[in-house]
Amino acid sequence: MKTSPDTHIPLEGYAPGDQDEMLIRAQAFHNSMRTRRSVRHFSSRTVYSDVIENCVATAGLAPSGANHQPWFFACVKAAEKKRQIREAAEAEERAFYEGKAGEEWLDALAPIGTDADKPYMETAPWLICIFAQRRGGAEAGEDRKNYYIHESVGIATGLLIAACHQAGLATLVHTPNPMNFLNEICGRPKTEKPYLILVVGYPAGDAVVPKHALKRKAIADILKIM
């Protein structure tokens, strides 16, 4: 590893703490994330742009290939644009549920109870359309090749979901396939690949979630210490 005072600076922002304190914090964060659910019933209550902007700013702190930050978050609140996105998404979902999905996939989705109707895409105050940039660079306006875009944007999306949850906002990951219509509606270039739509807002007062979503694998089934 090559470092020099010209290219590197001392690390900041990590206050060394004792591990009892670490454990308490890790448990507290785990406990707060335990209540996160994918929500499909939203209130139409407004959420200020500032809240969304701060959550997206957190997403923008994710690690990325060569630090090119290959993401773009088109945050849609305009009713007409939400309507267009819903309409295009539902057209893809109809094709999916009417045959494209196949039996095994539909069988896996049955306990969730989803279908092609996505009214919450208009009810919710925000649709965050996330794009992966095939070209860009570490500085805005550059036109270099980007690397590991799916990994990078996936990590950023995880931070965004955690930031929304931490703020008290409900979210839903939505991925109609294909979703190239998003480039046109959001005015994004063809070099950007639509990655997913995050529906964001207050949950409806009478929101329900599938029991299926409460199943969590035991830690022993997802972790091995070697």
- Residue labelled with tokens 């950007």: 192
Residue 104 CB, nearest distance to ligand IYR (Å)?
Answer: 11
119 binds ligand IYR (CB under 6 A): no
CB 170 within 8 A of CB 42: yes
**What's the order of all strands across the beta sheet hosting 170-174?**
71-76, 126-133, 192-201, 170-174
- Cβ-based nearer residue to ligand IYR, 25 or 212: 212
Residue 118 CB, nearest distance to ligand IYR (Å)?
Answer: 7
> Whole-angstrom Cα distance, residue 147 to residue 151?
9
166 binds ligand IYR (CB under 6 A): no
Q: Residue 85's closest CA among 209, 3, 188? A: 188
127 binds ligand IYR (CB under 6 A): no
- Cβ-based nearer residue to ligand IYR, 95 or 167: 95
* Residue 121: partners with Cβ closer than 8 Å, 6 or more residues away: 82, 85, 86, 89, 127, 174, 197, 199
- Cβ-based nearer residue to ligand IYR, 51 or 170: 170
Residue 97 CB, nearest distance to ligand IYR (Å)?
Answer: 7
Kindly state the tokens that stand for 217.
Answer: 């694998």
Q: What residues from 67 to 106 belong to the interface with ligand IYR (CB under 6 A)?
A: 93, 96
- Number of residues this chain uses to bind ligand IYR (CB under 6 A): 8
Residue 96 CB, nearest distance to ligand IYR (Å)?
Answer: 6
Kindly state the tokens that stand for 187.
Answer: 């005015």
The interface region with ligand IYR, picked from 2-10, 14-22, 108-116, 145-153 by CB under 6 A, is: 108-116
Q: What are phi and psi of 63, to 5 degrees?
A: -70, 150
Q: What residues from 173 to 212 belong to the interface with ligand IYR (CB under 6 A)?
A: 174-176
Residue 112 CB, nearest distance to ligand IYR (Å)?
Answer: 6
